[in-house]
């Protein structure tokens, strides 16, 4: 292909410079609008969830506290008098009111703490300046009401930290966690949460647009997340490539040994399915995967390594996959690196599918791990 000479076409430099100025102003306005939207959502969340103590001085907090004590004392006296009128003893009424007041204060204190942490996350997470066209809507009143009901019950540090991330993500990107996913998260105990985190750490991720991921710093839209194993079900037959002379039963045994080594068997999978987090009823065509900050493609064994994603080989992968709710909650997990898992699962995949792995470098970013507010899923 012939290269055009630089001086072959006259460039109106004054117009070019003017266009750059206009474009810069537009991008600045879009970025400022995004910042304003986040600030607005932060303020709305503060009004809905907190006592207002977080941004006040010590003097203001003491004045408010003193006034609340005076109001509470008056209200308690009025309620006590009312209970006496209907035959409830003064002592019983006093104890009941004190217990109720302590419960309310405890819940408000938890909400204050969760919001305070979420606000720090929002303030310390850089805005997605590389994608200024991303619109930020208003955080939903219904969502805030459900969040308040759920979050105020969380007494452990781990649960409060998790709900802080949820709130921060919703402030930054309203709709990132649905009401259904929030309900599921609320119902999860520590055992299920730990199991779900481990499961996600054993999963491969299929991206919606691998080329965009490789050439930008902000893109991480997940299409599918699954543990690529043979389950012993009917779907296993769909993963068997025609013309591949393998003995399926041998690979099922090998797959079973692999997932049991990392703490999973039928009861663990069943528990996550009962919570609506995973499913074993699907196949997905993979020509690449993301795992632990690295991007890999599949190639036929007789093909040379390539920098082009389009040259990858597509294979049917079964196993257990995250549901739409599971994919929403995936962004909240602290992905671990189980010892030697990557080497074992990739060796299994290469043997079973007669493929080789081809690693791709992300040109736009030397730190490919996405921040929580950058992850989206296709539902």
**pLDDT tens column, 311-353:** 568 888 989 999 999 999 998 888 888 999 999 999 999 988 8
Judge whether residue 56 has pLDDT over 80: no
Domain boundaries defined on the chain: 25-187, 199-377
Judge whether residue 31 has pLDDT over 50: no
User: If pLDDT is split at 50, 70 and 90, which confidence band does 245 have?
Assistant: low
286 has which bridge partners?
A: 315
Judge whether residue 105 has pLDDT over 70: yes
Residue 51 class from Cβ within 10 Å (0-12 exposed, 13-18 middle, 19+ buried)? middle
Encoded tokens for 355: 């493929």
Could you give the CA distance from residue 230 to residue 246 in angstroms, rounded to a whole number? 13
Verdict on whether the full-model pTM lies above 0.85: no
Could you give the CA distance from residue 31 to residue 197 in angstroms, rounded to a whole number? 34
Q: Which of 185, 190, 195 is nearest to 158 (CA)?
A: 190
């Amino acid at each position: 292909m012939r290269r055009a000479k630089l001086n072959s076409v006259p460039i109106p430099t004054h117009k070019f410079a003017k266009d750059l100025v206009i474009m810069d102003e537009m991008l600045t306005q879009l970025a400022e609008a995004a910042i304003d939207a986040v600030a607005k959502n932060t303020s709305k969340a503060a009004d809905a969830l907190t006592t207002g103590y977080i941004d006040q001085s010590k003097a203001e907090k003491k004045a408010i506290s003193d006034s609340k004590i005076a109001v509470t004392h008056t209200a308690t006296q009025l309620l006590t008098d009312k209970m006496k009128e209907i035959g409830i003893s003064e002592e019983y009424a006093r104890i009941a009111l004190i217990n109720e007041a302590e419960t309310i204060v405890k819940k408000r204190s938890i909400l204050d703490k969760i919001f305070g942490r979420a606000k720090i996350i929002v303030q310390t997470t850089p805005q997605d300046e590389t994608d200024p066209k991303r619109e930020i809507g208003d955080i939903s009143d219904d969502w805030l009401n459900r969040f308040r009901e759920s979050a105020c019950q969380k007494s452990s540090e781990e649960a409060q930290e998790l709900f802080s991330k949820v709130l921060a993500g919703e402030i930054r990107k309203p709709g990132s966690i649905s009401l259904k996913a929030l309900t599921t998260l609320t119902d999860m105990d520590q055992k299920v949460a730990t199991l779900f985190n481990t499961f996600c750490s054993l999963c491969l991720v299929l991206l919606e647009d691998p080329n965009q991921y490789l050439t930008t710093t902000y893109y991480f839209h997940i299409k599918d997340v699954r543990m690529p194993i043979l389950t012993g079900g009917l779907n296993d037959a769909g993963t068997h490539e025609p013309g591949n002379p393998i003995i399926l039963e041998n690979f099922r045994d090998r797959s079973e040994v692999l997932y049991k080594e990392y703490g999973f068997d039928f009861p663990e999978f069943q528990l996550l399915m009962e919570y609506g987090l995973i499913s074993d009823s699907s196949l997905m065509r993979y020509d690449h995967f993301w795992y632990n900050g690295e991007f890999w493609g599949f190639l036929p064994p007789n093909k040379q390594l390539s920098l082009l994603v389009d040259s990858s080989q597509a294979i049917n992968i079964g196993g257990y996959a995250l549901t739409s709710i599971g994919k929403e909650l995936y962004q909240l997990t602290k992905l671990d690196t189980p010892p030697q898992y990557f080497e074992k699962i990739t060796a299994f995949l290469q043997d079973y599918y007669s493929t080789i792995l081809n690693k791709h470098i992300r040109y736009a970013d030397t730190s490919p791990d996405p921040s929580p507010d950058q992850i989206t899923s296709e539902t």
